[in-house]
């Protein structure tokens, strides 16, 4: 009897989690039971990061203490800063993120300590330093001077300040915060499963997050938001969108930013991100990408019944904010560190080595023939 193989572990439940779930009864992604769109409406990113890592929304004091720790940990070591300065300027920022976290692991005195307390301390260091490292590289590759972090700025404000030298309009900061909230966590996706698999061998948290970053880089996962922007740049203007998407579908091309294995009737994160995409477009006085967005979405739904995922509105939103396209997925990283970390902590708490089986379909047993007889 043939073995029942589930390619890509499709439909296989491999473990339990308390971190997040797409709840069909409300058709929404939830973090610790809270709908992601409700968190976007009523919380800032730091509150949601606290929730994902600690299980409950923070009180005012808990949030203040959490922000104090994050802001204190932002400064990079001289070694890491020098390394970033010496990275090839053509490096993909995802490779920079991966390497920076590895260097943090080399430097951290608690790298080998996998206790819950030590892991939480390391989480806060990785969470605080990774956006600073990426912003430093953002400046370096443009031939500009690195800007030091400011402890009186929020997580999102500081990232903008370090990249561009100024904090943008409050509507832009809020939209960025919303994107971070929506990207923060999504159950057993490929990068999270990678992090949990690495953790299951009792490896360290820096190694697990490094592996997760490598996984997220792929265009079928985190890199999709970059591919969406490449697509929109190929379309160039709204007048071209209808022909472009119809030709792409006629040629059976993959259209990035659409479809999701978890959501069958549309990604619950999209309406919120679409709303803030529109707000950013209004502030920037640029409706071109919105028009392209609407035309492509309409055809995809009409012809294929495939709805957009969160990467579709996020890509052009980041573009309008001024970020280079290859920085879209690294922004995903600075958010998803929270979700990965929560899963790493959860894996440690009830660990079992993740070691699936494979169905062998190679050669049957063969005898080795000496080299002079082959």
Report the catalytic residues: 221, 260, 311
- Please give the Cα distance from 150 to 75 (Å, whole number): 9
In the chain, % helix, strand, coil (3-state, to 5) comes to 60, 5, 35
- CA distances to 4, 6, 285, 295 from 264, in Å: 24, 19, 34, 21
Q: Are 99 and 46 in contact (CB under 8 A)?
A: no
- Please give the Cα distance from 225 to 329 (Å, whole number): 7
For 207, counting Cβ atoms within 10 Å of its Cβ (0-12 exposed, 13-18 middle, 19+ buried), the class is: middle
Q: Which residues does 158 contact at the CB level (< 8 Å), separation at least 6? A: 74, 131, 132, 149, 150
> Closest Cα partner for 104 from 207, 28, 1, 189?
207
Which residue carries 């990408």 as its tokens? Answer: 289
Q: How many residues does the chain have?
A: 374
Q: Which residues does 184 contact at the CB level (< 8 Å), separation at least 6? A: 31, 45, 48, 49, 52, 335, 336, 338, 339
Which residue carries 């929304």 as its tokens? Answer: 57
- Please give the Cα distance from 67 to 70 (Å, whole number): 5
- Please give the Cα distance from 205 to 208 (Å, whole number): 5
């Amino acid at each position: 009897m043939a073995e029942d193989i589930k390619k890509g572990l499709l439909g296989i439940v491999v473990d339990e989690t308390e971190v997040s779930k797409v709840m069909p009864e409300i058709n929404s992604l939830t973090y610790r039971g809270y709908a992601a769109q409700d968190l976007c409406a009523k919380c800032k990113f730091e509150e949601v990061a606290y929730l994902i890592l600690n299980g409950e929304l923070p009180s005012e004091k808990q949030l203040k203490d959490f922000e104090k720790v994050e802001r204190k940990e932002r400064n990079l070591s001289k070694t890491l800063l020098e390394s970033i300065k010496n990275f090839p300027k053509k490096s993909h920022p995802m490779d920079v993120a991966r390497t920076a976290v590895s260097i943090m692991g080399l430097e951290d005195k608690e790298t080998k300590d996998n206790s819950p307390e030590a892991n939480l301390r390391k989480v806060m260091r990785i969470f605080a330093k990774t956006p600073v490292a990426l912003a430093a590289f953002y400046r370096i590759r443009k031939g500009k001077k690195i800007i030091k972090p400011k402890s009186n700025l929020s997580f999102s404000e500081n990232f903008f300040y370090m990249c561009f030298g100024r904090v943008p309009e409050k509507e832009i900061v809020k939209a960025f915060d919303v994107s971070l909230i929506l990207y923060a966590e999504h159950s057993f996706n490929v990068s999270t499963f990678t992090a949990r698999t690495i953790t299951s061998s009792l490896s360290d948290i820096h190694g697990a997050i490094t592996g997760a970053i490598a996984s997220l880089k792929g265009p079928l996962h985190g890199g999709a938001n970059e591919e969406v922007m490449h697509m929109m740049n190929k379309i160039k203007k709204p007048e071209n969108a209808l022909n472009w998407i119809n030709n792409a579908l006629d040629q059976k091309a993959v259209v990035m930013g659409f479809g999701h294995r978890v959501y069958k009737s549309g990604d619950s994160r999209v309406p919120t991100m679409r709303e803030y995409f529109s707000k950013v477009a209004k502030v920037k006085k640029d409706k071109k990408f919105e028009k392209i967005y609407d035309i492509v979405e309409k055809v995809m739904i009409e012809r294929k019944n495939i709805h957009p995922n969160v990467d579709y509105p996020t890509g052009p939103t980041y573009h309008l904010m001024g970020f280079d396209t290859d920085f879209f997925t690294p922004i995903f990283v600075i958010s998803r560190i929270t979700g990965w970390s929560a899963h790493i902590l959860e894996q440690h708490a009830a660990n079992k080595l993740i070691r699936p089986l494979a169905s062998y379909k190679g050669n049957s047993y063969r005898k080795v023939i000496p080299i002079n007889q082959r």
